[in-house]
Amino acid sequence: MTYTKYSASGNDFVIFHTFKEEDFSSDAVKLCNRTEGIGADGFVALVPSSEADFKWLFYNSDGSHAAMCGNATRAVAHYAYNNGLASPSMKFLTEAGLIESAVDGNIVETQMTEPVLIKETFEQEGLTWYLIDTGVPHLVTLVDDLNSYDHDLCAKMRYEHNANVNFAKVEENGIKVRTYERGVEGETLACGTGMVACFLRANELGLVENSSLLYPKSNEELTVSKIGGKLYFKGAVKKVFTATI
């Protein structure tokens, strides 16, 4: 099989396409392993779809399924276009619904799924939290110092609320974010759906306009915009290498 590794803002993925839909969870565990495999946060198989240009099967590095991943949508769109699976403007099916993406060189913009508020703000562990589904569930807390990010606290909150956990700081030039992701069970360099969740919280509080720059731990610059009630997530992606195994 031939696989391609992509990086999107520090989130990395192993991507391939096939004509047969099956369970690739064991492949995800094997290939996402950073010492004995290719190494990645997630694994994506692209398969045919009668409803869209293609359908994706997304797996976390531990083999578990995830309905949606913002950075992966951008990497997959770039892969699909460059492998002749779709035009620069495409639609593909995920467990979270139909995704629309547009490829312009190495810049990819995705229209995100409609967010669903799960829980109004609440206090826990001395912090104020906000729980929203932006494709997958995300806990968001706004802090004055991102060094207050606490791995053990994130792990506790993740299991208690079955959600990814985000610490965000609003600055003059945008929003800086640190994210603990389910399935990886640790902090990643970036999380697209998490950045969208942080943007929504800051926007709701009037701390940012309807378009804002965001900076994950990788410090790459991304943009989240709210236009006509729809959310758009834009940034660069990088094809790292292709390997035959």
Label each residue of 54-115 as H, E or C.
Answer: EEEEEEECCCCECCCCHHHHHHHHHHHHHCCCCCCEEEEEECCEEEEEEEECCEEEEECCCC
Is pLDDT of 53 > 90? yes
User: Beta strands 42-47 and 11-17: pairing type?
Assistant: parallel
157/57 Cα distance (integer angstroms) = 27
Longest pairwise C-alpha distance within the chain:
51
Confirm if 235 and 8 have CB atoms less than 8 A apart.
yes
DSSP for 22-45, please give it: ---HHHHHHHH-TTTS---SEEEE
Average pLDDT over residues 148-159: 96
Residue 10 is predicted with a pLDDT of 85
Average pLDDT over residues 180-206: 94
42 confidence band (pLDDT: 50, 70, 90): very high
Q: What amino acid positions are annotated as catalytic residues?
A: 69, 191
Is pLDDT of 32 > 90? yes
Confirm if 101 and 92 have CB atoms less than 8 A apart.
yes
**Residue with the larger pLDDT of the pair 245 and 117:** 117
Is pLDDT of 202 > 90? yes
Residue 38 is predicted with a pLDDT of 96
User: Beta strands 107-111 and 116-124: pairing type?
Assistant: unpaired
Residue 96 is predicted with a pLDDT of 87
Q: 67-106, pLDDT tens digit by residue?
A: 888 899 999 999 999 999 999 999 999 998 899 999 999 9
70 C-beta neighbours (distance < 10 Å), count: 29
Write the CA distances from 170 to 177, 195, 203, integer angstroms.
Answer: 9, 12, 10
137/118 Cα distance (integer angstroms) = 8
What average pLDDT does the structure give for the chain? 95
Residue 152 is predicted with a pLDDT of 96
Average pLDDT over residues 148-171: 97
